[in-house]
Amino acid sequence: MASRAESTTGKFVPVAYLPSSKAFTKFIRIGIADKNDNPPYFDKALYEAEVDENEDIQHTVLTVTAKDHDESSRIRYEITSGNIGGAFAVKNMTGAIYVAGALDYETRKRRL
Ligand SMILES: [Ca+2]
Ligand SMILES: [Ca+2]
């Protein structure tokens, strides 16, 4: 019988051979890597928040959260449209949307 040992690299390697035969057993461990083949999705179809027009810059309005079925996905957030005047910004790692510029109710009533 061949015995086995786990090497430091995580592969099983044969450590003993049958003395009277050239036959031996190899142990191979196969890891399945998760390919990034699923698109991320938000946990809600619509996020709503109210923000006062006098709110401080950097004030977090709400935090959006996206998920992904792939283990290998790293999600980054950005605002791609609708952010006229740069009134809002998002922290790309956390999805926290915060006030980035002066808000004026009369001119930016329907911006997000
Ligand atoms: Ca996958
Ligand atoms: Ca993905």
Q: Give residue 19's pLDDT.
A: 64
Q: Give residue 20's pLDDT.
A: 63
Rg (CA), the chain: 27
Is 17 among the domain residues?
no
Tell me the pTM. 0.65
Q: Give residue 103's pLDDT.
A: 84
Report how far ligand 1's centroid is from the alpha carbon of 42 (Å): 17
Phi first, then psi: give them for residue 84, nearest 5 degrees. -65, 130
Domain that holds residue 106: 55-111
Q: What is the CATH number of the domain that holds 91?
A: 2.60.40.60
Report how far ligand 2's centroid is from the alpha carbon of 41 (Å): 9
Is 66 among the domain residues?
yes
Is 90 among the domain residues?
yes
Q: Give residue 13's pLDDT.
A: 55
Is 19 among the domain residues?
no
What is the number of structural domains in the chain? Answer: 1
Report how far ligand 1's centroid is from the alpha carbon of 49 (Å): 33
Q: Give residue 28's pLDDT.
A: 75
Q: Give residue 7's pLDDT.
A: 42
- Counted residue by residue, the chain has a size of 112
Across the chain, which has 112 residues, the per-10-residue mean pLDDT values are 47 58 72 88 91 91 93 90 88 94 71 50
Is 96 among the domain residues?
yes
